[in-house]
Structure 1
Amino acid sequence: MDLSNEFRVDASPAVTWSVLTDLERIAPCLPGAQLQEVEGDEYRGIVKVKVGPVTAQYKGTATFLERDEAAHRAVLKADGRETRGQGNASATITVTLVPDGTGTQVSVLTDLRITGKVAQFGRGVISDVSANLLGRFVESLESTVLRGDTTTPASPTPA
């Protein structure tokens, strides 16, 4: 299923790019996400999400497929397995930044594939949950790293 979201931040595209492509720095801003380790270009962690009455926790990896700084476009591939073995999630996330006055308009296109209990809720519910999580992520992002707060939680253990 394809999900499309947009948001605007009060930071230049260059600043926004450096923040959004630093997964170690932004992982604490994503509700339910915990980055556990980084090995080379592979990021490993856990994401916990509630969809309707079901809470699922996925353990997996994320890697950048593309990082085009000049075009301000990044493509991230994430794969996870539900920790109780009841399903899988896979996403290809394309982020594009465009200057917008004194800030940046961010477009996030997600090609999401889910199996297991979470998949039963369908596009409408999953889209709503995705938009809610992204909204909370942006609020956290703007109140911490985009405000110049350089304090970040402990770094993951390098492998």
Structure 2
Amino acid sequence: MKLSDDIRIEASREKVYQALNDPDILRQAIPGCEELERISDTEFAGTVRTKVGPVSARFKGSVVLSDLNPPESYTITGEGKGAASFTKGHANISLSEEGGATILKYDVDVAIGGKLAQLGSRLIEGTAKRLAGEFFNNLQGLLGVPAGQAATGSPERREPAAGRTINWVWIIAGAALLAAVIFGLFMRG
């Protein structure tokens, strides 16, 4: 499954990059994240629990960061496994400035298998949209943007091109997998 989108975050690029590279902030921002630990400067492992329709899943996994170009871009590669499902993929992340805000752009290529994949794309995408919204709202709050600033303080999606959807299954199916997210969803610094 290939996914891409742009997200507007009302904070400076440096501040967003630092937050996306802080395991403590990510642990708080990623819905269902139970643990997230730094193995090395470019390797992380974690566990996330989520529910997609009737399926509750707990994923353990790991990610490796590469092509690091702080605070502009990086690549995340990872995999996660649950009792009856798995995910594997990579994401290219870029951050650009627009006014006082940051535009986070992601391009994801992810494979989802097992019980979770059998639920169908509509259910997975609906859950992913909800979880992505939670992630970005949590992140925005952790960045210190006052609540209730809908015009400038809420994360907003740019209008997607036809056929594009925001789908952060890769974050959710592994803060462990691709913290991030999710996703998921992010960890250098």
TM-score for both structures, normalised by structure 1: 0.80
Cα distance, 1:36 vs structure 2: 4.3
Partner of 2:127: 129
Q: Indicate the RMSD between aligned Cα atoms, in angstroms.
A: 1.9
Partner of 1:78: 78
Question: SS at the partner of 1:65?
Answer: strand
Distance 2:132 2:43 in 1: 22
5+ residue gaps, structure 2, are: 146-189
Partner of 1:112: 110
Partner of 2:86: 88
Partner of 2:58: 57
Partner of 1:151: none
Partner of 2:35: 35
Distance 1:36 1:118 in 2: 22
Structure scoring higher RCO (CA < 8 A, sep ≥ 6) equals 2
Partner of 2:99: 101
Give the aligned residue type for 1:56: A
5+ residue gaps, structure 1, are: 149-159
Conserved in 2, the CA contact under 8 Å of 1:3 and 1:127? Answer: no
Q: 1:95 to 1:69 in 2, by over 3 A?
A: same
* Greater strand proportion: 1
Partner of 2:159: none
| Structure 1: 4+ residue segments shifted above 6 A | none
Percent of aligned pairs sharing the same letter: 27
Equivalences, count? 144
TM-score for both structures, normalised by structure 2: 0.69
Partner of 1:13: 13
